[in-house]
Amino acid sequence: WGVSAYYEEGWYSGGPTLEQMLIDLRKSNNTIILDRSIAKQYGYKLYDTITVDFASCARQLRIVGFFGPEPQTSNQGQVYIDARSSIAPTFYSQFYSYVPRDLFNMTEGSDIYTLESWSTKILISLNPGVNGTEVANQIRSLNLEVYGVDSFDEQWRRATGMEDIYTYSSIQVLDVQSFGLIFAVLSASVGTALIAIVSLKERSREATLMSVRGLSFRQLVWMFVTESMAIITFAVILGIIVGVIIVYGNVATANSTISSYSLVTQRIIFPANALATIGTYVALIYASTIGAIIVMTSQYVTKLEKMVRAR
């Protein structure tokens, strides 16, 4: 699975390559690819021997590699609460480490499998445009010793169909955030238009003089648009830069405390629909400014024509 599985770059360390680590696991059942946070916490080095106290028995395992992101000081893994204790709930963390499949070297009917429990999660990297639902169905049809196959496409379809209430609630939160963003953009567009209108009203005498000197309606519009676009463009660029910095900071903060239990790190992406939405918002801000300039300039020209006719 080292070829087909998806894993973050640099998460497998210690050994020469991931392939060599997997070869070492196949050569000996008493080996382990240890979580990097555990190794840092206890000071384990590559090829050290550790004793793991399993529910069935204690076993000595040789470290052939490490897995996980670079541990931080505050990184203690995914924290869970076990409330089964009669005195007080206990807190524990979960990490991912890899051991050979035949670690216990027992048959499926052995009592050891009633004492031990383990799980393996493998992320499969798909090429762009591949249907995740079809891939999941093909894996299920192979009748492998797999507990379950999850596909993002399937989960998204169930969420949008309200089959998964938890995920559907998360989507509702995103919808509310999108609505808030639309409201903010509309407010910015209206505010920009009002600023342009107030600015042009203060320059009504200047517009009248320029029109008397021979500037046409198109020339007046072009002059006011050119003057306003510099400020609007600067504001738009500044807003985009600030937004990217904020998002990048949120992603960097989330990744600084991530553990191997998450399997993937957060990253900034700009899909086509997001770029189209951002472009629409920017175009709306520009359109509101240009529209206000055209309306106000038209009023100036119309007013001047009426004055000329009256004389």
* β partners of residue 12: 67
**246 and 306 within one domain:** yes
**141 and 64 within one domain:** no
**305 and 180 within one domain:** yes
Task: Return the higher-pLDDT residue of 55 and 243.
Answer: 243
Q: Looking at beta carbons, which pairs linking 122-130 to residues 24 or more positions away fall under 8 Å? A: 122/1, 122/5, 123/5, 123/6, 123/7, 123/263, 123/264, 124/4, 124/5, 124/6, 125/4, 125/5, 125/6
Question: Which of 102, 122, 142 is at the close of a domain?
Answer: 122
Q: Which pLDDT tens digit goes with each residue over 141-196?
A: 887 777 788 887 777 777 666 655 566 566 666 667 777 778 888 888 888 888 88
65-74, 241-250, 301-310: range with lowest mean pLDDT:
301-310
**118 and 14 within one domain:** yes
Q: Which pLDDT tens digit goes with each residue over 249-269?
A: 888 887 777 766 677 788 888
**16 and 65 within one domain:** yes
**267 and 204 within one domain:** yes
pLDDT at 121 over 50: yes
**181 and 301 within one domain:** yes
Q: What is the pTM for the complete model shown? A: 0.63
**171 and 47 within one domain:** no
Helix locations, 150-164, DSSP H? 152-160
pLDDT at 60 over 70: yes
Question: Which of 107, 136, 163 is at the close of a domain?
Answer: 163
**180 and 72 within one domain:** no
Residue 292's pLDDT band (cuts 50, 70, 90): confident
**175 and 91 within one domain:** no
The range of the structural domain enclosing residue 132 comes to: 126-163
Give me the pLDDT at residue 84, please. 46
- Looking at the structure of the chain, the number of domains it has is 3
Q: Give the separation between CA 248 and CA 256, rounded to whole angstroms.
A: 12
* β partners of residue 49: 62
**281 and 180 within one domain:** yes
Task: Return the higher-pLDDT residue of 123 and 93.
Answer: 123
**306 and 215 within one domain:** yes
